[in-house]
Amino acid sequence: MHSLPAAPPTYNDPNPLNIEIRTKFPVARIKRIMQADEEVGKVAQVTPVAVSKALELFMIALVGGAADKAREKGGKKVTAQHLKSVVLGSEQFDFLAEIVGRVAEVQEGAGGEGRKRKGKEEKDSESSEEEKKPKKGRGRKKKGDE
């Protein structure tokens, strides 16, 4: 009896929403990085192209997952915490666990880890320091200023 052909391998589509991806990784730079290793000899012409595509799919999967986490939590920005939760939550990204382990845990809550505005005291102390130093001129000199 004839056996059935093997089913094609299944995989998760890294771009399930079919978002247009405009990010292309430079093939020439990838080839240069590959050849920087002394153990690497000649590199076939198609190899850097394949690595570029693999890197693109990797970024889609990682950043897309982080964007989903951000949406789940009601955020509009993808943070290091979102990336960390994707890495720790997926066996696919196990090799990154040591790297994301260095990301500090942040308490959940509204507001982000953005830049803080300067308080009034900080502004006052800075402005007094600036008054002491003459400001450098910007732009070109005028004919009468020489």
The answer to whether residues 27 and 52 touch, using CB atoms and an 8 Å cutoff, is yes
Instruction: Output 114 or 54, whichever has higher pLDDT.
Output: 54
The answer to whether residues 73 and 98 touch, using CB atoms and an 8 Å cutoff, is no
Domain residues for the domain of 79 are 17-104
> pTM for the full model?
0.57
CATH (domain of 88): 1.10.20.10
| Chain segment 9-28, per-residue pLDDT in tens | 555 666 666 667 777 889 99
User: Which phi and psi angles does 9 have, rounded to 5°?
Assistant: -65, 140
Please report whether residue 115 resides in a domain.
no
**Ordered alpha helix ranges (H), the chain:** 27-36, 46-72, 80-89, 97-100, 120-132
Please report whether residue 51 resides in a domain.
yes
Please report whether residue 131 resides in a domain.
no
Please report whether residue 24 resides in a domain.
yes
